């Protein structure tokens, strides 16, 4: 169950070497725009966090990048290397989305199974060791704690080995201690990849993000990014981080009072 | 969650459950027989209307060769009908869940098939398929088909959307998505439909036998009834009940064993 430090190269197999640019994105549900004219650039290998109140459209924006939004949608996503983004993203949701009838190991290799490829069980076992689940490989998800399930989901995400990782509040259902541990693990293992993380926790955003955007209003607009200093995972007791947290809360709070007016 | 992590409560509730699984049917049977005996005494009904339990028991023992011979047919019809109906239900549910065109065409036909009373259909089936097993199997299969189709289709169309999203970002093929996510996810729903089907399957076979046959418990009951051998009718009913209950418990056990991951708040995880 202990996380080991060998094979640190694992996460660097497929680093991102291209920027992703979103232009004039618009998504509407039932005739009302969630957002329109939205531009966002995800720089190669950077960790971008998206903060905002519930229901503002953070998840929708993330799902837009994943190609999961259907219906009344427009806008363009371009990659600086001219290749399409499709098939180069891995997706991790708030729910672990582990299949209850497959063992942890079989869940980690799910992507290959669904694409009819030969699953690399050796690599999957390696990743499970890295996330501290080597002893749980043959258990079913129902036998895991919440933190272990999210670790398994992280291993499944890393197994896909895509240059871009989209994460939708992956740690929000965890207790504080498990959340900190998983943030650390994710920061270490996702280094080199382009990451977009949706969260409602300003500290999580500042701990992990190279750029932190607040999404607010209706239709939602992106505010200018806050860029915390130093390498992630950052120390949440750092005074600079705490000052930036106050700034983020201000951006979020100012929004709340506008909504009330 | 906390309950599942406590091996002590697990062990206890499991052995309690085992004991109850065995004892409950016995308790119910004894209570029903007692009620029956009380009814006989209180109403003073003559034997040709309501025979006392002891008479029926005597008939069961005295005529067991005849009863078992006919029971074989009914059991075979029911079991074959059950699997045939379940197979047809599966074959109907999967394309309905996959293709909306199939769904739009098949759903009304399914509903119409259920609007026709089975009693009205039975003589036709006997006419078309003959006096033998085939018409009874068809009857049982027809009754079973609907609950299995509806339950399985329902399960297939309620796949957790998060799994579908995940599969899409993983580049899943449609076929693999079906075989590795949608089908297994729908198995608990299929199991519910199959349990209902198991309980109603003997009805189809017996109705078929009533309408036209020379074998089976339904046939035997009809003849005994005409000759006012009511103890024989009751003996047939008892065998039917015993078979139905046994069949249901076997199916239930097999389904539980086959789907150990199925969320079930009544059953401990291990």
Interface contact B4-A93, CB threshold 8 A:
no
- Using the Cβ of B177 and the Cβ atoms of chain A, whether some distance falls under 8 Å is answered with yes
The reply to whether B139 and B31 lie within a common domain is no
Interface contact B184-A101, CB threshold 8 A:
yes
Interface contact A114-B184, CB threshold 8 A:
no
- Containing domain of residue B206, as a range? 52-258
Segment B163-173 mean pLDDT: 93
Task: Quote the number of domains for chain A.
Answer: 1
For B89-107, give the DSSP string. Answer: HHHHHHHHHH-HHHHHHHH
The reply to whether B103 and B86 lie within a common domain is yes
Nearest CA in chain B to A165: B169
Contacting residues of B for A143, CB less than 8 Å apart:
269
Segment A75-115, tens digit of pLDDT: 889 899 888 888 899 999 989 999 999 999 999 999 999 99
In-domain check, residue A129 = yes
Interface contact A91-B4, CB threshold 8 A:
no
Residue with structure tokens 């190669």? A44
Segment A136-146, tens digit of pLDDT: 999 999 999 98
The reply to whether B231 and B141 lie within a common domain is yes
- Using the Cβ of B7 and the Cβ atoms of chain A, whether some distance falls under 8 Å is answered with no
Q: Which two tokens stand for residue B74?
A: 């009914």
The reply to whether B39 and B134 lie within a common domain is no
In-domain check, residue A148 = yes
Segment B52-73 mean pLDDT: 93
Contacting residues of A for B169, CB less than 8 Å apart:
66-68, 89-91, 166
Nearest C-alpha of chain A: how many angstroms from B188? 11
In-domain check, residue A110 = yes
Q: Which pLDDT belongs to residue A260?
A: 45
Contacting residues of B for A113, CB less than 8 Å apart:
176, 180
Q: Which two tokens stand for residue B220?
A: 């035997």
The reply to whether B156 and B212 lie within a common domain is yes
In-domain check, residue B4 = no
Nearest C-alpha of chain A: how many angstroms from B144? 27
Contacting residues of A for B173, CB less than 8 Å apart:
114-116
Nearest CA in chain A to B264: A142
In-domain check, residue A156 = yes
pLDDT band at B11 (very low <50, low <70, confident <90, very high): low
Of B7, B28, B44, which residue sits at a domain end? Answer: B44
Task: Please give the model's pTM, rounded to 2 decimal places.
Answer: 0.81
In-domain check, residue A5 = no
Segment B115-138, tens digit of pLDDT: 888 778 888 888 899 888 899 999
- With H, G, I as helix, E, B as strand and everything else as coil, classify residue A101: coil
The reply to whether B31 and B87 lie within a common domain is no
The reply to whether B147 and B180 lie within a common domain is yes
End-to-end distance of chain B based on CA atoms, in angstroms?
A: 13
Task: Quote the number of domains for chain B.
Answer: 2
- Containing domain of residue A154, as a range? 99-161
Q: Which two tokens stand for residue A215?
A: 């999404």
For chain B, give the DSSP string. Answer: -TTTT-HHHHHHHHHHHHHHHHHHHHHHHHHHHHHHHHHHHHH---TTTS--HHHHHHHHHHTHHHHHHHHHHHHHHHHHHHHHHHHHHHHHHHHHHH-HHHHHHHHHHHHHHHHS-HHHHHHHHHHHH-SSHHHHHHHHHHHHHHHHHHHHHHHHHT--HHHHHHHHHTT--HHHHIIIIIHHHHHHHHHHHHHHHHHHHHHHHHHHHHHS-SSSHHHHHHHHHHTT-HHHHHHHHHHHHHHHHHHHHHHHHHHHHH-TTS--TTS---
Q: Could you give the CA distance from residue A106 to residue A139 in angstroms, rounded to a whole number? A: 10
Which CATH number belongs to the domain containing residue B197 in this structure?
A: 1.10.3720.10
- Using the Cβ of B188 and the Cβ atoms of chain A, whether some distance falls under 8 Å is answered with no
The reply to whether B115 and B136 lie within a common domain is yes
In-domain check, residue A185 = no
In-domain check, residue B7 = no
In-domain check, residue B10 = no
In-domain check, residue A21 = no
Nearest C-alpha of chain B: how many angstroms from A151? 16
Phi then psi dihedrals of residue B87, to 5 deg? -65, -45
Helices A176-189 and A146-160: crossing angle in degrees, nearest 10, is 10
Testing the interface with B: which of A67, A114, A155 to mutate, by most B Cβ within 10 A? A114
């Amino acid at each position: 169950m202990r996380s080991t430090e060998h094979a640190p190269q694992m996460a660097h197999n497929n680093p991102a070497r291209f920027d992703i640019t979103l232009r004039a994105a618009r998504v509407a549900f039932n005739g009302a725009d969630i957002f329109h004219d939205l531009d966002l650039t995800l720089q190669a290998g950077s960790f971008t966090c998206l903060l905002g109140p519930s229901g503002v459209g953070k998840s929708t924006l993330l799902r837009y990048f994943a190609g999961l939004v259907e219906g009344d949608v427009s806008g363009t996503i371009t990659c600086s290397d001219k290749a399409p983004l499709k098939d180069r993203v891995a997706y991790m949701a708030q729910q672990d989305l582990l299949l209850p009838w497959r063992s942890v190991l079989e869940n980690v290799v799910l992507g290959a199974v669904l694409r009819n490829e030969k699953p690399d069980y050796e690599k999957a076992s390696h990743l499970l060791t890295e996330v501290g689940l080597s002893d749980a490989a043959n258990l079913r998800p129902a036998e895991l704690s919440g933190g272990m399930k999210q670790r398994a989901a992280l291993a499944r995400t890393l197994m896909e080995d895509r240059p871009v990782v989209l994460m939708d509040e992956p740690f929000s259902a965890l207790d504080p201690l498990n959340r900190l541990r998983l943030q650390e693990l994710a920061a270490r293992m996702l280094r080199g990849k382009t990451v977009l993380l949706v969260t409602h926790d300003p500290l999580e955003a500042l701990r992990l993000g190279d750029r932190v955007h607040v999404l607010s209003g209706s239709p939602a607009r992106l505010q200018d990014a806050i860029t915390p200093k130093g390498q992630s995972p950052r120390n949440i007791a750092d005074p600079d981080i705490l000052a930036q947290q106050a700034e983020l809360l201000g951006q979020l709070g100012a929004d709340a009072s506008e909504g009330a007016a | 969650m906390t309950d599942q992590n406590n091996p002590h409560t697990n062990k206890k509730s499991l052995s309690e459950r085992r004991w109850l699984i065995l004892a409950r049917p016995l308790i119910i049977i004894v209570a029903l027989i007692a009620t029956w005996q009380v009814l006989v005494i209180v109403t003073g009904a003559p034997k040709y209307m309501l025979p006392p339990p002891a008479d029926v028991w005597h008939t069961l023992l005295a005529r067991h060769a005849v009863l078992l011979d006919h029971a074989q047919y009914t059991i075979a019809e029911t079991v074959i009908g059950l699997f045939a109906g379940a197979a047809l239900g599966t074959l109907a549910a999967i394309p309905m869940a996959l293709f909306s065109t199939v769904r739009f065409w098949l759903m009304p036909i399914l509903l119409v098939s259920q609007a026709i009373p089975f009693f009205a259909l039975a003589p036709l089936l006997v006419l078309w398929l003959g006096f033998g097993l085939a018409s009874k199997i068809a009857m049982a299969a027809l009754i079973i088909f609907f609950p299995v189709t509806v339950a399985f289709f329902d399960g297939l169309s309620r796949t957790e959307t998060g799994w579908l999203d995940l599969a899409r970002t993983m580049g899943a093929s449609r076929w693999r998505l079906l075989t590795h996510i949608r089908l297994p996810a729908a198995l608990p729903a299929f199991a519910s439909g199959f349990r209902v089907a198991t309980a109603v399957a003997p009805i189809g076979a017996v109705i078929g036998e009533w309408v036209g046959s020379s074998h089976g418990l339904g046939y035997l009951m009809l003849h005994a009834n005409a000759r006012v051998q009511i103890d024989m009718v009751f003996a047939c009913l008892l065998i039917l009940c015993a078979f139905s209950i046994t069949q249901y418990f076997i199916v239930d056990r097999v389904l539980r064993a086959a789907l150990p991951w199925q969320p079930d708040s009544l059953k401990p995880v291990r």
